[in-house]
Chain A
Amino acid sequence: MSWRRLWAVVIKELRQLRRDHITLAMIVGIPVMQLILFGYAINLNLRHLPTAIADQALTSGSRQLVMDMLATGVIEPVTNAQSPQQLMDMLRRGEISVGVVIPQDFERRLATGDEVVQVLVDGSDTVVQSAAIQLAQMPLAYTPAEPRQSSVPLPAARISVVSFYNPQRVSAINIVPGLIGIILTMTMVMFTSVAIVRERERGNMELLIATPVSRAELMLGKVLPYGIIGLIQTSLILLLGMLLFEVPIRGSVLDVYCSAMLLILANLSMGLLISTRAQSQFQAMQMTFFVFLPSILLSGFMFPFDGMPRPAQWLAEILPLTHFLRLIRGIMLRGADLSDLWPEWLALVVFIALMMTLAIVRFRKSLD
């Protein structure tokens, strides 16, 4: 391994990239576009969700609460119901998106701090779900008619949200960290695979393999510049996520970048492997999507991992994005650190080592 040669390949790659305006635009454009598309689809302030309210208490207090809920404008009563069972039927038929149940013992629950109201939500629609959660965070301004004389502070009365059909509660904050993974998977695999195949198509490869540059130098020299680009994209998404959607980073930023770097390397080595196989840029793109689609669908980004059948889960365990999602959600949302999540990054390291080895072995310095 000669640093001089490796560095020469890196510099050449960066110089070519600087003149490739379309790729440059994609490096910035894809993250910004996707973040805004996904982000605003989630963050949409929903109004007028079709709602049915089953007020079984029928006290002045319960009526006050209903009025307060309606005043938010998020829900709009379209029909009446008597029982939770009726609400569930309506939910299933799609007549309503939100059902509100106020139990008969509303006043007593309020006094003891139990859950006073149940909001049933059509969880198959994540947007509706997050709107309902906002609703549930509404402060209960109503105070009981006979405040109990007590030195012990009252437990706060709560509204419980029961989300049907979507136990994982995908939310805006949940999606932005995942989006880092999606964007890196999409762009990194594509950039590397195309970068090498393009060289073959234009005839540069025949020149390169006739020089003393080694396989590893060529491969690493191709990968490193795109690794840097991946980190830039990660920063861009994190920054926009914080500015636009107030996505928290509860764990360490270093851990976030380490995880991102692992995913970047995993995707780059997969791109290299694709490039040893693909004969044209078009084939490289096709193979990229062959990897990208299962990543999006099975990794747990779109659909909850636990809800998938076993074989799909096994398949998902092979995909780097699955492990990255667990890492990044753990770090950013739950404040975990890398030592808590060692199986996930270990899986990524193994994946990288395997793919990189395969790519270097499969890449021949000959035209056979």
Chain B
Amino acid sequence: MPGDADIAIRARGLTKCFGALRAVDDVDLTVARRQVYGFLGPNGSGKSTSIRMLCGLLTPTSGEIEVLGLRIPEQAEELRRHIGYMTQQFSLFADLTLRENLEFLAAVQDMPRHQAVQRVDELLHEYHFDGRADQLAGTMSGGQKQRLALAGSVIHKPELLFLDEPTSAVDPESRRDFWEKLFELADAGTSILVSSHYMDEAERCHRLAILDHGRLVADGSPAELTGALDGRTLEVRAERPRQAKGVLVQVPGVLSAAQIGNSLRVLCDESGDCGARVEQAFADAGVGASVQPIAPSLEDVFVAATNRPVDQLTGEAR
């Protein structure tokens, strides 16, 4: 167990109800400093609500939160000087220029004027906005907006950064750039909590929590999470994959079978002898197919944790 000085966020029994709906249900969470911690889950799984409670923007129905050693929500006002928060929707001012937006954010963080001017110039350069300082923020592309929002949320060099689905409306290349920036920040000592519904992004996090229906269903480093599924994932190559899939779903112990091109990716339960049963089933049905073990991925982790197919993760977000 790491010491308190190394812990950025600690939450115990975190719960938020909206009427009868339990949006966040008894979540325990420990986030170490200087790490990129990922929140993975479909829309409506409680990611945003959790982040808002951790920032002190929402009052939890029950549970205890300690962020950077401060009790939340009681000491939320104090916390605001030490955190950056990037909202899911673009929340800078569309009718202000890039420079005006950043100057405003520097000023509300109480940064002295000359220091603010310097910092804004620095950020404009660092985030590749050279020569566009006087463009209105509303006229930028989705990827540029997200980059600007990130620049705005780190203007006061916060110790801890909350990012709520920062890349949900961004093209793949911008996403890659964005994550490069996140790792630069983490290397510089910033703790980062980022929510996402992209598997490839989740894989890059130091540690990961999977949320489903407001509950924390898995928690660990990507390697730990995938390692826990060792021996439970199979690859099936078949002439007629759809027919093979029809056989697979009948086999007891098969949790899911997803078609990827000409092959099928199969996730089995903990019983351990699933592979043998699958081969037996193909032989019985007279379907030509080869079965091989394959290294588990985060997608398998997600499916195993939520009992839901992966396409629900990204599908609902569109």
The interface of chain A, by Cβ under 8 A from chain B, is: 2, 4-5, 7-9, 11-12, 15-16, 19-20, 202-204, 206-213, 365-368
> Which 6 pairs from chain A and chain B are nearest by CB?
A8-B107, A207-B91, A210-B85, A203-B91, A203-B89, A213-B108
Instruction: Pull 12 A–B residue pairs with CB atoms less than 8 Å apart, ordered by A.
Output: A4-B112, A5-B108, A15-B100, A16-B93, A20-B95, A207-B87, A210-B57, A210-B83, A211-B105, A366-B58, A366-B76, A367-B52
Are B80 and A212 closer than 8 Å at their CB atoms?
A: yes
Are A207 and B85 closer than 8 Å at their CB atoms?
A: yes
Given contacts A16-B96, A204-B93, A207-B87, contact A212 B77 (CB under 8 A): yes
Q: Which of A5, A209, A367 contacts B110 (CB 8 A)?
A: A5
B interface majority secondary structure: loop
Q: Which of B77, B96, B110 contacts A4 (CB 8 A)?
A: B110
Binary per-residue interface labels of chain B (39-76) against chain A in the complex, 1 for a CB within 8 Å, 0 otherwise: 00000000000001001111100000000000001001
Residue of A nearest to B96 (CB): A15
Are A212 and B81 closer than 8 Å at their CB atoms?
A: yes
Residue of B nearest to A5 (CB): B108
Are A12 and B58 closer than 8 Å at their CB atoms?
A: no
Cα separation A5 to B112 with both chains bound (whole Å): 10
Are A8 and B108 closer than 8 Å at their CB atoms?
A: yes
Residue of A nearest to B85 (CB): A210
Are A204 and B95 closer than 8 Å at their CB atoms?
A: no
Q: Which of A5, A202, A212, A367 contacts B57 (CB 8 A)?
A: A367
Whole-angstrom distance between the Cβ of B80 and the nearest chain A Cβ: 5
Are A210 and B89 closer than 8 Å at their CB atoms?
A: no
Given contacts A2-B110, A4-B107, A204-B92, contact A366 B85 (CB under 8 A): no
Are A202 and B94 closer than 8 Å at their CB atoms?
A: yes
Residue of A nearest to B59 (CB): A368
Whole-angstrom distance between the Cβ of A215 and the nearest chain B Cβ: 10
Say yes or no for B179: interface residue by CB 8 A criterion: no
Q: In the complex, which of the residues B52, B107, B110 has the most CB atoms of chain A within 10 Å of its own CB atom?
A: B107
Whole-angstrom distance between the Cβ of A61 and the nearest chain B Cβ: 73
**B residues 83-137 with Cβ under 8 Å of A?**
83, 85, 87, 89-96, 100, 103-105, 107-110, 112-113, 136
Are B95 and A16 closer than 8 Å at their CB atoms?
A: yes
Are A210 and B55 closer than 8 Å at their CB atoms?
A: yes
**B112: which A residues are within 8 A, CB to CB?**
4
**B104: which A residues are within 8 A, CB to CB?**
8, 11-12
Whole-angstrom distance between the Cβ of B167 and the nearest chain A Cβ: 17
Given contacts A7-B107, A212-B81, contact A19 B95 (CB under 8 A): yes
**B55: which A residues are within 8 A, CB to CB?**
210
**A7: which B residues are within 8 A, CB to CB?**
107
**B81: which A residues are within 8 A, CB to CB?**
212
Are A209 and B95 closer than 8 Å at their CB atoms?
A: no
**B59: which A residues are within 8 A, CB to CB?**
366, 368
Residue of A nearest to B73 (CB): A366
Cα separation A15 to B97 with both chains bound (whole Å): 10
Cα separation A367 to B76 with both chains bound (whole Å): 13
Whole-angstrom distance between the Cβ of B257 and the nearest chain A Cβ: 41
Are A211 and B91 closer than 8 Å at their CB atoms?
A: no
Cα separation A141 to B99 with both chains bound (whole Å): 74
Cα separation A212 to B59 with both chains bound (whole Å): 18
Whole-angstrom distance between the Cβ of A18 and the nearest chain B Cβ: 9
Given contacts A12-B93, A12-B96, contact A211 B80 (CB under 8 A): yes
8 further A-B contacts with Cβ under 8 Å, apart from A202-B94, A212-B110, A366-B73, are A7-B107, A8-B103, A9-B108, A203-B91, A204-B91, A204-B92, A210-B83, A367-B58
Q: In the complex, which of the residues B73, B83, B109 has the most CB atoms of chain A within 10 Å of its own CB atom?
A: B109
Cα separation A5 to B77 with both chains bound (whole Å): 15
Are A368 and B58 closer than 8 Å at their CB atoms?
A: yes
Cα separation A8 to B101 with both chains bound (whole Å): 10
Are B92 and A207 closer than 8 Å at their CB atoms?
A: yes
**B136: which A residues are within 8 A, CB to CB?**
19
Whole-angstrom distance between the Cβ of A196 and the nearest chain B Cβ: 14
Residue of B nearest to A218 (CB): B108
**B73: which A residues are within 8 A, CB to CB?**
366
**B57: which A residues are within 8 A, CB to CB?**
206, 209-210, 366-367
Whole-angstrom distance between the Cβ of B278 and the nearest chain A Cβ: 49
